[in-house]
Amino acid sequence: MGVHGPAEMTDAEAFAAIALAAVACDGTLGRDEAHALRRSLEYRTPYKDRNEQEMATLFDRLLAQLRSDGVEKLVDDALPVLTPVQQETALAVAVQLTHADRDVTPEEKSFLNNLTGRLNLPEGRAVMVLEAIMALNRDSLAA
């Protein structure tokens, strides 16, 4: 078991943890996903005010926790730290990130369904967010 717990996690760490869990839930962290992860955070508060070293330190810590405890525990530690509004946005970012490489794996679908069911949001809200982001990423003009 790792030494990190929810009391040690800030909301910024928790939000980034959900995003990291989304890209790592299928057991791989590809270049497209890593780039999308970085892009999804770089214009958001408080990440936009952090330098490269601070961001590297944040992700090093989260990756260490992910490796020691796994995706499920990382999410378990992160969710209670986030407000419902932050959870909703974290879900939207997670859905967007699973679509970053245009190939949503069964593991990613399972992760999103699990995450959707665990959020502290009004009835049906999480599913609505999930479906909206999926519609946004659908390649509906493909033959």
Q: Where are the domains of the chain?
A: 6-137
The single-letter DSSP state of residue 141 is T
Tell whether the model's pLDDT for residue 2 goes beyond 70: no
- Span 6-137 CATH architecture: Orthogonal Bundle (1.10)
Q: Which residue has the tokens 């910024």?
A: 12
pTM for this model (two decimals):
0.89
CA distances from 142 to 6, 45, 67, 138, 139 (A): 43, 35, 37, 9, 6
Tell whether the model's pLDDT for residue 30 goes beyond 50: yes
In this prediction, residue 102 carries a pLDDT of: 78
In this prediction, residue 3 carries a pLDDT of: 46
CB atoms near residue 131 (< 10 Å): 12
CA distances from 133 to 32, 84, 94, 102, 137 (A): 18, 18, 10, 13, 6
User: How high is the mean pLDDT of the chain?
Assistant: 90
Name the burial class of residue 33, with classes exposed (0-12), middle (13-18) and buried (19+) by CB atoms within 10 angstroms of its CB.
Answer: buried
